[in-house]
Structure 1
Amino acid sequence: MPRLLIVHHTPSPHCQEMFEAVLAGATDPEIDGVEVVRRPALTVSSVEMLAADGYVLGTPVNLGYVSGALKHAFDQSYYQLLDSTRGRPFGVYLHGNEGTEGAVRALDGITAGLGWVRAAETVIVSGKPTKDDLEACWNLGATVAAGLME
């Protein structure tokens, strides 16, 4: 069974709302035969990253960059993932109050280096997520998960 791994750093209520919307989309009953695994960025292992067939990455944007927690997840796994996970689909959601461009650039560089393929547009939210923002998060989770259906 294909496995979608949601790697997230969820330190705030706004990030939690976004995470829950992504998870709801990824686990929609119409998406059949995909195991959805969720792991905090500080505890996800290289083995879990390698075992996944696709990824959703969620992070707040701190000081114009991805959270240290998500960076840590890649720092501990990058070389194990390199060449082993090329072509795998991914999606990203970000929460930042300003200056998200640096985080987008960083994740673009990391995922390009790994050879991952963007499966959905990045969702970027500033401030409290609106209904439309949460719908975009739901669609992100559903899109990446549905792409893994056999």
Structure 2
Amino acid sequence: MTESRKHLLMVYHSQTGHTRMMAQAVLRGARRVPEVEIRLKRALRAGLDDLLWAHGLLLGTPENFGYMSGALKNFLDRTYYPAQGKISGLPYAVFISAGNDGIGALTSIERIARGYPLKPVCDPIIARGELSTEILQHCEELGETMALGVAWGIF
């Protein structure tokens, strides 16, 4: 590992396993970029040190009652104030496993992200219902795109 290596943090929560499958696909894509070190963390285990380490952030959540998971909200709550002024403009992207439309979960994440402030750099992926091969392919592309953007300083 070299000092110039960039860091990509993926924080996710999964209850049924769908978001975990999406996270694994995102991770597969990100691993195609050897210049980036990737840290995959469950939301309740991720903390401020992980966030401060990152040059890019991926957030994954199921849609729970039209909102992000409580575990992802907990991560954002625990890191919000301590991260103020330290990660402004950090590039981020979102992937959501939704039973409904996923818009409530996405909107809540975007609202909080603006407060950090984080910078959205990729379209969100929202998997509605069962996961398809196409959605998992989009997740791999998201991971690779984020890793390349961080590695090349595009974001």
Q: How far is the alpha carbon of 1:89 from its aligned partner?
A: 0.8
- Alignment counterpart, residue 23 of structure 1, candidates 19, 23, 27: 27
RMSD: 1.1
> Which position in structure 1 is the counterpart of 2:36?
34
Cα contact 1:7–1:39 (8 A) shared by 2: yes
Q: How far is the alpha carbon of 1:99 from its aligned partner?
A: 4.1
TM-score by length of 1: 0.94
1:9 counterpart = 2:13: yes
**Stretches (4+) displaced over 3 A:** none
> Which position in structure 2 is the counterpart of 1:139?
141
Cα contact 2:11–2:46 (8 A) shared by 1: yes
> Which position in structure 1 is the counterpart of 2:45?
43
Q: How far is the alpha carbon of 1:13 from its aligned partner?
A: 2.6
- For 2:64 and 2:6, locate their aligned partners in 1 and report how far apart those are by CA, in whole Å: 32
- Determine what percentage of the aligned residue pairs are the same residue: 33
Q: Deviations over 1:24-66 (max 9, x none)?
A: 01111xx131100010000101111111111000000100000
- For 1:10 and 1:102, locate their aligned partners in 2 and report how far apart those are by CA, in whole Å: 17
- Alignment counterpart, residue 111 of structure 1, candidates 103, 110, 113: 113
5+ residue gaps, structure 2, are: none
Count of matched residue pairs: 148
Q: What is the letter of the counterpart of residue 71 of structure 1?
A: K
> Which position in structure 2 is the counterpart of 1:55?
57
Q: Provide the secondary structure at the position in 2 that maps to 1:134.
A: helix
Cα contact 2:10–2:58 (8 A) shared by 1: yes
5+ residue gaps, structure 1, are: none
> Which position in structure 2 is the counterpart of 1:75?
77
